[in-house]
């Protein structure tokens, strides 16, 4: 499962686990703190905020070349561009500083943070193990001419599969980024699998947007999204040459977040290009 569905809202599983771990940390700290007359809630929220800001800043610094031509994208966090390790370190340091300044918070904050980190670490490790064992689904879809295509036939080189629809605004916004990456990286196979729409509608959309894409496929029943456990669009899946899922991205891709994701499937000597 790649996403957690809450009514019409689809939340990426890694983000859902982070929310759950934060709730566990808050609940644990509150239960311990109420006996001591202190509540670590504000400190925990400060840690979360500082961690998120540092994680974003670290990502932007690492991929500044991709943001330099359009600086407003730095604050557009819809691309999911965060570096986990710097964010965790910053959050922990913020917690240590808060505990040093306010002695009554030390025990409940430390216990809450430790329990939350343990819960998050275990659940995140299990999720990664489950996702990394997923193989490319054994499904047949159709190409733009209506001919059947077996997804297993796409195995043989690193593979990027983008699930999209014409009615999806973030799908439309990220399509030029993916189109440019497809043209610039012949060693990676990019495949665009439309979910639930017909040939004429897809062809009309591509013509209107003046998009030149290879490997356009049609999945009229949306079976691929169901098979990989994601009902949200856009979803982009990153497979190794042997068809094993190495990474996934739910939501809009920017040049930076696409380059970051491609690192999971590129070979050691492969240079990733995002523009022709």
pLDDT, tens digit, for every residue of 70-113? 899 999 998 999 999 999 999 999 999 999 999 999 999 999 99
Ranges of each domain in the chain: 3-132, 140-262
d(CA 37, CA 34): 5
Tell me the CATH class for 140-262. alpha beta
The alpha carbon of residue 57 and the mean position of all alpha carbons in its chain are separated, in whole angstroms, by 17
d(CA 274, CA 66): 9
Give the residue, 31 or 1, on which the prediction is more confident: 31
Start-end of H helices in 133-231: 169-184, 199-209, 223-228
pLDDT in tens, 51-78: 999 999 999 999 999 999 889 999 999 8
Query: Do residues 218 and 192 lie in contact, with contact meaning Cβ atoms separated by under 8 Å?
Result: no
pLDDT in tens, 116-167: 999 999 998 988 888 777 899 999 999 988 899 999 999 999 999 999 999 9
pLDDT at 269: 44
d(CA 275, CA 182): 9
pLDDT exceeds 60 at position 268: no
Mean pLDDT over 241-255 rounds to 93
């Amino acid at each position: 499962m790649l996403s957690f569905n809450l009514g019409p809202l689809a939340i990426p599983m890694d983000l859902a686990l982070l929310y759950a771990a934060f709730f566990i940390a808050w609940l644990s700290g509150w239960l311990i703190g109420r006996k001591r007359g202190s509540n670590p809630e504000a400190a925990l929220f400060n840690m979360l905020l500082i961690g998120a800001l540092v994680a974003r800043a670290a990502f932007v610094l690492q991929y500044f070349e991709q943001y330099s031509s359009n600086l407003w994208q730095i604050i557009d966090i819809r691309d999911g561009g965060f570096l986990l390790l710097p964010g965790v370190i910053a959050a922990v340091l913020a917690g240590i500083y808060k505990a040093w300044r306010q002695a009554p918070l030390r025990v409940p904050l430390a216990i809450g943070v430790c329990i939350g980190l343990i819960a998050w670490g275990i659940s995140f490790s299990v999720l990664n193990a489950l996702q990394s064992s997923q193989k490319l689904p054994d499904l047949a879809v159709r190409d733009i001419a209506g001919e059947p295509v077996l997804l297993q036939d796409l195995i043989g080189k690193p593979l990027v599969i983008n699930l999209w629809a014409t009615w999806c605004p973030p799908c439309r916004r990220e399509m030029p980024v993916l189109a440019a990456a497809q043209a610039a990286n012949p060693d990676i196979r990019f495949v665009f699998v439309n979910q639930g729409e017909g040939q004429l509608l897809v062809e009309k959309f591509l013509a209107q947007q003046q998009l030149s894409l290879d490997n356009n496929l049609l999945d009229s029943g949306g079976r691929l999204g169901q098979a990989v456990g994601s009902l949200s669009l856009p979803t982009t899946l990153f497979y190794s040459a042997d068809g094993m899922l190495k990474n996934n991205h739910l939501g809009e891709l920017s040049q930076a977040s696409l380059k970051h994701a491609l690192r999971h499937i590129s070979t050691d000597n492969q240079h990733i290009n995002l523009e022709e």
